[in-house]
């Protein structure tokens, strides 16, 4: 059965969302995932805007109903409004979804601070701020200290969402009302929104998995076998959870969509930007060439730098991350990543199960 037929079947069975919501939703950022979420909210009946910084690009997208740069093969919902005025996009709205690359996240929040009244702010960005090691929730708390906030993360490849393929995500927040509002705005017959109160765990899963997508893309370029891929994914999960617990997250969070789910999707799909960067590096291209050819932000490269430094500070064993850093920035042979998996074999298979044995 094709995905189109599956979608029709779901709708015919009456499982599609029938009660339209009138929440006022704004997505800041016109990248692929931000566009997909804005389109989904508009489809669900929300009064939805998407802010694009470039006035000409915003006008073109509004007129053509196509995000030519990021999602050229899809037509956007007619009700979705694309604007370039930040004031128009933020004032008198209910939900602000921020899909801005990590390097610009803080500056945009500083700009919208005077416009915030009763809005809630949710990060869609899976990354870490350069140098400060702040996650996006940290930046929200610092720049908008009185605002209810959350993070949205999961195995969410934008093109598949736009195609109507079934998918799920996680909204994490300490506020039950915020979680409910996001579920109301984004949940549909083909997009399920789960809830969590482990903000750091969900956010860490979304950021850290980008590291291992780079590794997996590199491995794909070298045509590694399924055994190697499976070992890489499971040891990546061990590294992620080990690092996250050191920062106060719940290790069980990594068994969900924002952990192993996102890790699997990002490490398995050529649609992943970080996978594409790794593949290009594995082909022998320079980092500059790989980033230029991608034409989009790949958060994984900055995350490798930030996490390696913090892991050393916290004395957290992260051999894959460290090996990747050496390959990308110190010109070590790519085989170093595979060799990092084979060191220190006398360790626990499943993290935290054997507390008296070395882990890795």
List beta partners, residue 97.
Answer: 27, 122
Question: CA 304 to CA 325: how far, in whole Å?
Answer: 6
Active-site residue, 130 included: no
Nearest by Cα to 130 from 329, 302, 346, 349: 302
Question: CA 37 to CA 44: how far, in whole Å?
Answer: 10
Using alpha carbons, list the distances in angstroms from residue 9 to 1, 16, 27, 111, 167.
Answer: 10, 10, 30, 45, 16
Question: CA 149 to CA 138: how far, in whole Å?
Answer: 10
SS3 state of residue 67: strand
Which residues 6+ apart lie within 8 Å of 318 measured at CB? 239, 242, 243, 307, 308, 311
**b/e sequence 93-126, b meaning 16+ C-beta within 10 Å:** bbbbbbbbbbeebbebbeebeebbeebbbbbbbb
Residue matched to tokens 């599956």? 6
Nearest by Cα to 235 from 203, 260, 252: 260
Nearest by Cα to 199 from 243, 135, 263: 135
Question: CA 266 to CA 214: how far, in whole Å?
Answer: 9
User: Which of the following is catalytic: 110, 209, 285, 343?
Assistant: 209
Q: Which two tokens stand for residue 199?
A: 């903000």
Q: Are residues 328 and 287 in contact, defined by beta-carbon separation less than 8 angstroms? A: yes
Q: Are residues 41 and 21 in contact, defined by beta-carbon separation less than 8 angstroms? A: no
Question: CA 224 to CA 341: how far, in whole Å?
Answer: 13
The radius of gyration computed from the CA coordinates of the chain, to the nearest angstrom, equals 20
List beta partners, residue 128.
Answer: 135
Catalytic annotation, residues: 209
């Amino acid at each position: 059965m094709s995905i189109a037929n599956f979608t029709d079947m779901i709708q015919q069975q009456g499982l599609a969302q029938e009660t339209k919501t009138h929440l006022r939703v704004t997505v800041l950022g016109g990248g692929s995932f931000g566009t997909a979420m804005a389109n989904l909210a508009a489809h669900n009946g929300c009064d939805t805007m998407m802010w694009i910084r470039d006035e000409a690009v915003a006008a073109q997208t509004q007129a053509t109903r196509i995000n030519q740069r990021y999602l050229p093969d899809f037509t956007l919902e007619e009700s979705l409004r694309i604007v370039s005025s930040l004031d128009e996009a933020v004032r008198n709205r209910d939900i602000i979804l921020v899909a801005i690359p990590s390097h610009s996240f803080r500056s945009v929040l500083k700009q919208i601070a005077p416009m915030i009244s009763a809005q809630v702010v949710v990060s869609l960005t899976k990354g870490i701020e350069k140098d400060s090691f702040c996650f996006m929730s940290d930046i929200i708390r610092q720049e908008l200290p009185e605002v209810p906030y959350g993070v949205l993360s999961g195995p969410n490849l934008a093109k598949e969402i736009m195609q109507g393929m079934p998918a799920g995500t996680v909204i994490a927040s300490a506020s039950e009302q915020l979680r409910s509002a996001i579920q109301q705005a984004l949940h549909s017959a083909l997009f399920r929104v789960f809830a969590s109160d482990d903000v750091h765990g969900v956010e860490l899963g979304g950021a850290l998995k980008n590291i291992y997508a780079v590794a997996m893309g590199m491995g794909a370029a070298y045509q590694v076998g399924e055994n190697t891929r499976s070992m890489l994914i499971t040891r990546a999960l061990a590294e992620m959870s080990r690092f996250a617990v050191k920062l106060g997250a719940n290790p069980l969070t990594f068994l969900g969509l924002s952990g192993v789910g996102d890790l699997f999707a990002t490490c398995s799909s050529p649609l992943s930007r970080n996978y594409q960067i790794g593949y290009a590096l594995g082909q022998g291209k320079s980092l500059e060439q790989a980033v230029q050819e991608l034409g989009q932000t790949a958060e994984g490269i900055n995350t490798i730098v930030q996490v390696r430094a913090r892991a050393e500070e916290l004395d957290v064993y992260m051999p894959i991350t460290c090996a990747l850093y050496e390959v990308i920035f110190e010109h070590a042979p790519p085989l170093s990543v595979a060799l990092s998996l084979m060191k220190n074999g006398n360790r626990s298979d499943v993290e935290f199960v054997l507390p008296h044995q070395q882990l890795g």
